[in-house]
Amino acid sequence: MKKIIIFASGNGSNAQAIINHFENNDQVQVTHILSNKPNAFVLKRATQAGIEGISFNKFAFAKAGSIHSILKQINPDLIVLAGFLWKIPEFMVEEFPNRIVNIHPALLPKYGGKGMYGNHVHGAVLSNKEKESGITIHYVNEHYDEGGIIHQATCPVLMNDTIESLANRIHQLEHEHFPVTIEKLLS
């Protein structure tokens, strides 16, 4: 049985897409959903799916903290960042090489780095009058959004786009491509 742990900070729509994709798969299991925000809706999604949900603080995320202990105990095949806003500590990247993946709401290397998430990204894409945007699924290294690219998918940026309309198309790409890419990585 392949094991996935998901880290998320907010609503958890990508986590839900992953849960749905693997719910009837007897070879892959989402074992935990971890969040740095105790009131994040993703934790309610975990409960509804019968998956253990855990919220944690910075201390628990440190090398000697409880999250590290959970990761060592479960030894997941893949750690999936699905809208998780904290930087992954270097010790974790070293301990799980090429086993931590992230999804970014733009075509990296453009619009990546610290502070570039969600609507900040979409606003920058619109301000720069880009013709297309998309998603990047990539490995996580010690720098924000600089790990090796696994998969990209694109969508047009329309002349009358707003941050919300572009974000909706990006979410569709995320939900379509992220679970399938995770499945390919695990096979």
Residue 102 counted as an annotated binding residue? yes
Residue 14 counted as an annotated binding residue? yes
Q: Cα 36 from chain centroid?
A: 13
CATH number at residue 166: 3.40.50.170
32 is catalytic: no
Q: Which domain holds residue 99?
A: 2-186
Residue 98 counted as an annotated binding residue? no
Among candidate residues 21, 68, 104, 177, the one labeled active-site is 104
Instruction: Give the residue among 80, 93, 91 at the shortest CA–CA distance from 14.
Output: 80
Asked if 39 and 47 count as a contact pair (C-beta separation under 8 A), the reply is no
pLDDT at 65: 86
Coil, strand or helix at 29 = strand
Ranges of residues in the chain with a pLDDT under 70 are none
Asked if 84 and 37 count as a contact pair (C-beta separation under 8 A), the reply is no
Asked if 134 and 152 count as a contact pair (C-beta separation under 8 A), the reply is yes
Burial class from Cβ neighbours inside 10 Å (0-12, 13-18, 19+) for residue 40 reads buried
d(CA 23, CA 21): 6
**Domain count of the chain?**
1
**What tokens appear for 67 in the block?**
């999250």
pLDDT at 63: 84
pLDDT at 64: 81
- 72's torsion region: left (phi>0), alpha (psi -120 to 50) or beta? alpha
pLDDT at 69: 93
For residue range 39-54, what is the model confidence (pLDDT) as tens digits?
Answer: 999 999 999 999 999 9
pTM for this prediction: 0.95
Rounded to 10 degrees, what is the CA torsion of 179, 184, 186, 187?
140
The pairing of strands 28-35 and 2-7 is parallel
